[in-house]
Structure 1
């Protein structure tokens, strides 16, 4: 059955301090809609999922394999599976992350 979902109707989850996410799960992928407070930090981590990050608003500094990237509105960064990455919200920002395979830990 096809279902249309309004993002703001999805209950928000606070995954780490300053990060509020709303998640849509398919069979093989997860789409995450993040609202991130200015100065909030995602510690360096890695996971088996390919991740594609898109900045819809604000600025986010992402470190990927030791290299820092300042992502601004409409920038996209592809993060390969198992790559060490983390970041910091330079301003309050909104990001969309696509994960494949699906993130069961965000269900």
Structure 2
């Protein structure tokens, strides 16, 4: 339910829209307030989350698929059940090797996703 621009209470995944986040990449904002945000990111094989940095803390859970994750110059292959932490301002990105889904938690919320 949306209240004053914030998603509160129970969240029904099917009722929320996907938005494009690049070729082969879509995201869906599940819930947020001013201190926390949860986002699903769906990748097709070959989809790229370009290298970037932001002032938010981030924890990402690999829900499905296989990804090459680059974090602060180091690359590692992660699969379903794995996770990683990104400190504020650390350069990071992802390349999808097998179709999959990432679940991102950000603190504070990503206001740039809400524009």
Report the Cα offset of residue 42 of structure 1. Answer: 1.4
Q: Distance in 2 between matches of 1:87 and 1:12?
A: 19
Higher strand residue share:
2
2:83 corresponds, among 60, 68, 76, to: 76
Q: 2:20 aligns with which of 14, 19, 35?
A: 14
In the superposition, the TM-score normalised over structure 2's length comes to 0.87
TM-score normalised by structure 1 residue count: 0.94
Counterparts of residues 1-107 of structure 1 (less than 5 Å): 3-23=9-29, 24-107=31-114
State the secondary structure of the residue aligned to 1:92. Answer: strand
> Which residues of structure 1 form unaligned runs of 5+?
none
After TM superposition, what 4+ stretches of structure 1 lie above 2 angstroms from structure 2? Answer: none
Equivalences, count: 107
1:18 & 1:100 partners in 2: Cα distance? 25
